[in-house]
Amino acid sequence: MAAKAKKVYTCSACGGVSPTWRGQCPRCGAWNTLVEGLAGPGGSKALASASATPVPLGSHPGEDFTPAPTGIDGLDRVLGGGLTPGGAVLLGGEPGIGKSTLLLQLAGLAAASGRRVVYVSGEESLPQLKARAERLGVLHEGLLAAATTDAGAAVDILGATPAPDLVIVDSVQTMHVSGVEGAPGSVSQVRGVAASCVEAAKRGQACLMLVGHVTKDGQIAGPKLLEHMVDTVLYLEGERRHLFRILRVLKNRYGPTDELLVMEMRERGLSEVPDPSTFFLGDRDPAVSGSAVVMAVEGRRPFAVEVQALAAKSFLSMPRRAALGLDVGRLHLLLAVLEKRLRLNLGQVDLYAKIGGGLKIPDPGLDLGIAAAVLSSFYDRPLPAGAVFWGEVDLSGRIRPVAGHDTRLKQAERLGYGPILCPNAAGLGSKVETLPDLARLLFAKA
């Protein structure tokens, strides 16, 4: 007689399993995240393999992990050299941001170089895939495709003979594995699909690329365990209404984790922006108040971005504060410091701030540029033409150094910016160490 299926409760945040329901996950501490399911053959026993037998590590023959180039120089840099045989890569991003476009381009380039590539799609039919590949100009005889939502088919493809060099599964939330309770996209199914595909990739020499959707708060959907299963986690971000995209590395076992790739969406797909130093400035008018140039650092690459601020008279009892591309809490903090240290009355104005080009940058070095832009709009006086800012503002009003100072300085000098206003650097004939210094140097006659 078959054993009765046992109920378990899986955490939707971390993937932890509890035999009984609890209000709080015993693993990660999150509240109300345990979802009822059944313990099936897709559990931990199904993941056991012959490699669980201990062997002397020094005498193990090892494998060749030399990465293969993707055909996109920037992507090779982000991945640490290219696609690693037996490696698993997870690409996350919002719907419509260009994940499938990027991977179809990658598949076409790999097929054109003579490698065996299989694109497994659970979201599109084969005619749709062919039409998109023709539009992108990547249709090639060596590019194979399969339209299925069965994870078992993807596992069979990974273990096929001859073995493929690259297998793309789009997406992990649309696939399902037999023997695991839950609908496609549920915590148990996402975990089962990823575990079976990653295990099959590790047994062979194929590089596996999984596509993952994101939740409304920007996290990759499914249990956090999904990110721990793979070797590399990439995140494609940007505004769908803008042309640019940024590919970030959140985790990489084979390369750097502080790299990024700036791309532009065109009619024939995504293309790399070779020098994004001034790409996000657009048609900036330096004669307009409330606009400041900040030398930001994302990953290892410095580039200039425009920080805009607008101070307008408020007719509300509670003036408005809004921010795009930066944390609104950080804006509130900077406004409080400006009001306290410079004795400004900001309670009668609405204040808005944004980063030009639709960028989202968490760099603390933006603080000084935001403060300068707010003051420029408040006094309605433009900043000096060619001025560039970076530095972190603390609660005392002092300007603190930030990471990548030398990199920012070299890039600012290479682009011909001046004056340069940053911590411990001479600007406009004096050093900028506090917010009163900044206000005195820029708006002495305000």
Task: Give 354-383 as a DSSP string.
Answer: EEGGG-----GGGHHHHHHHHHHHHHT-PP
27/429: higher pLDDT: 27
Average confidence (pLDDT) over 176-188: 84
Which residue, among 174, 109, 120, 123, has the nearest Cα to 145 in the 3D structure? 120
Pairing status of strand 6-11 against strand 17-18: antiparallel
Phi, psi of 210 (to 5 degrees): -105, 140
Separation between Cα atoms, residue 284 and residue 282, nearest integer Å: 6
182 among annotated binding-site residues: no
Task: State percent of the chain over pLDDT 90.
Answer: 40
Tell me, what's the pLDDT at 59? 75
Contact 254, 84 (CB under 8 A): yes
Tell me, what's the pLDDT at 423? 85
Task: State percent of the chain over pLDDT 70.
Answer: 89
Asked, as a colleague might, if the bond just before 95 is cis with ω within 30 of 0, I would say no
99 among annotated binding-site residues: yes
The two structure tokens encoding residue 298? 């994302």
Q: Is the pLDDT of residue 222 over 90?
A: no
Tell me, what's the pLDDT at 261? 87
114 among annotated binding-site residues: no
Tell me, what's the pLDDT at 50? 42
Sign of CA dihedral 30, 258, 232, 110: positive
Q: Is the pLDDT of residue 422 over 80?
A: yes
Task: List strand residue ranges (DSSP E) for 269-318, in order.
Answer: 269-272, 291-298, 301-313
Tokens 């590019």 — which residue?
143
360 among annotated binding-site residues: no
306 among annotated binding-site residues: no
Separation between Cα atoms, residue 435 and residue 396, nearest integer Å: 9
Q: Is the pLDDT of residue 305 over 80?
A: yes
How does DSSP classify residue 4?
A: P
pTM: 0.74
CB atoms within 10 A of CB 323: 18
Q: Is the pLDDT of residue 427 over 70?
A: no
259/331: higher pLDDT: 331
Separation between Cα atoms, residue 119 and residue 166, nearest integer Å: 8
The H or E element that residue 100 is part of is helix 99-112
Average confidence (pLDDT) over 269-287: 81
Q: Which residues contact 116 (CB under 8 A, 6 or more apart)?
A: 142, 144, 162, 163, 164, 165, 166
Mean pLDDT in the chain? 84
| Whole-number Cα distances in Å, 34 to 29, 227, 334 | 11, 19, 39
36 among annotated binding-site residues: no
Q: Which residues contact 2 (CB under 8 A, 6 or more apart)?
A: none
The two structure tokens encoding residue 379? 């006094």
12 among annotated binding-site residues: no
Contact 16, 24 (CB under 8 A): no
Tell me, what's the pLDDT at 216? 61
Q: Is the pLDDT of residue 272 over 80?
A: yes
Average confidence (pLDDT) over 191-215: 88
Q: Is the pLDDT of residue 246 over 90?
A: no
Q: Is the pLDDT of residue 371 over 70?
A: yes
The two structure tokens encoding residue 374? 């707010």
Contact 383, 443 (CB under 8 A): no
Tell me, what's the pLDDT at 396? 94
Tell me, what's the pLDDT at 223? 54
- What's the pLDDT band for 43 if we cut at 50, 70, 90? very low
Between CA 272 and CA 276, with CA 274 as vertex, the angle to 5 degrees is: 100
The amino acid that residue 125 corresponds to is S
Contact 88, 111 (CB under 8 A): no
332/4: higher pLDDT: 332
402/63: higher pLDDT: 402
Q: Is the pLDDT of residue 2 over 50?
A: no
Q: Helix or strand or coil: residue 441? A: helix
Per-residue buried b or exposed e for 110-126, using 16+ beta carbons within 10 Å of the residue's own CB? bbbeebbbbbbbbbbee
pLDDT in tens, 112-122: 999 999 999 99
Q: How far is CA 281 from the centre of its chain?
A: 21
Tell me, what's the pLDDT at 360? 81
Separation between Cα atoms, residue 42 and residue 105, nearest integer Å: 33
Where residue 90 falls (left for φ over 0; alpha for ψ -120 to 50; beta otherwise) is beta
97 among annotated binding-site residues: yes
390/5: higher pLDDT: 390
Contact 435, 399 (CB under 8 A): yes
Tokens 């293309």 — which residue?
271
Tokens 């009003």 — which residue?
397
- What is the torsion angle, in degrees rounded to the nearest 10, for the CA atoms of residue 11, residue 217, residue 246 and residue 173? 40
Separation between Cα atoms, residue 43 and residue 180, nearest integer Å: 8
Q: How far is CA 112 from the centre of its chain?
A: 28
Average confidence (pLDDT) over 357-384: 91
CB atoms within 10 A of CB 147: 16
